[in-house]
Structure 1
């Protein structure tokens, strides 16, 4: 199987996870649309590089998510608000086998016993994970909450700026009262 050297997360990214090759090297397994392939990067590196290209990074995205959601563990992150790309992890992001699900591609879940869940995804994919269905859906809900809060915050308030009929003259001087306004 061909291994790609880089990858940018986009609307067709269904999920990312870690996978070791026969020599013990960690790659990222990506399900992209109907295809799957390996990337010669760790999943967290792909997320970070994608976010850097958009003017942020993983650390900042995580910090923002925690500010909005509270100090939650394994918090979701916004990758690209304009494209609707929100990812949420199944485990600690330091775990090589953490699966990062794209919120937009999760369609349904089904419990398969005590600690197994089948996740129905876009493009007809089905992923079976070692997690209670309720735990998975709580993580999914956190991602939905983050999406809702960030979209609400990005809309802002409509503000009108009315220019003064007489301009303001600002003169820089010295001392404690540095500026004089007229």
Structure 2
């Protein structure tokens, strides 16, 4: 993951293995490993640890589900899951890359990213709206505490 990453989408291969479709501003590719493994490995690369950040976020913000995560404070990479953050098959979206989102039908939303890429996902618009709000509040709290 890097500052150009837009989304991590679970993708099963023909053998039934769960991998991750990585959407970036210039290209899309499939990476070996589950989305939450990609998150955890990226955090280690940037010098943080998933369980510690998750626990700190829970205590800092009082969240107990769909907990947003800071991948890299210096790079401003913040993400949130659309399922439980413990789920192997959750979609993860990068909060700072989202331009807008639109309800297509009940339970389906198109997410528009700044780079002109759009993804339609089977999640209600209010879940996405609330997740973005929570991640923005978390980012602001974290930045204030780290000044």
Deviation at 1:54, TM superposition (A): 2.4
The higher radius of gyration belongs to: 1
Deviation at 1:106, TM superposition (A): 0.6
Q: Secondary structure at the match of 1:22?
A: coil
1:109 maps to which residue? Answer: 101
Whole-Å Cα distance in 1 between the matches of residues 86 and 64 of structure 2? 15
Deviation at 1:43, TM superposition (A): 1.3
TM-score by length of 2: 0.94
Deviation at 1:38, TM superposition (A): 0.7
Whole-Å Cα distance in 2 between the matches of residues 152 and 94 of structure 1? 27
TM-score by length of 1: 0.77
Matched, 1:92 2:77: no
Post-superposition Cα deviations, 1:85-122, rounded to whole Å, max 9, x if no partner, equal 00011111343431110111111011112211111112
Greater relative contact order, per chain length (Cα 8 Å cut-off, separation 6+): 2
Q: How many residues align?
A: 147
| CA-atom RMSD in angstroms | 1.2
Equivalent residues of 1:76, 1:88 under 8 A apart? yes
Matched, 1:142 2:145: no
Q: Secondary structure at the match of 1:29?
A: strand
Q: How does 1:17-166 map to 2 (within 5 A)?
A: 17-155=9-147
Mind listing any 5+ residue stretches in structure 1 that lack a counterpart?
Answer: 1-8, 156-182
Mind listing any 5+ residue stretches in structure 2 that lack a counterpart?
Answer: none
Post-superposition Cα deviations, 1:134-178, rounded to whole Å, max 9, x if no partner, equal 1210001110011000000000xxxxxxxxxxxxxxxxxxxxxxx
Q: Stretches of 4+ moved more than 6 A in 1?
A: none
Whole-Å Cα distance in 2 between the matches of residues 131 and 32 of structure 1? 21
In structure 2, the CA distance between the partners of 1:89 and 1:120, relative to structure 1 (3 Å rule), is: same
Q: Secondary structure at the match of 2:139?
A: helix
Post-superposition Cα deviations, 1:18-61, rounded to whole Å, max 9, x if no partner, equal 10111111111100112110111111111111111222211111
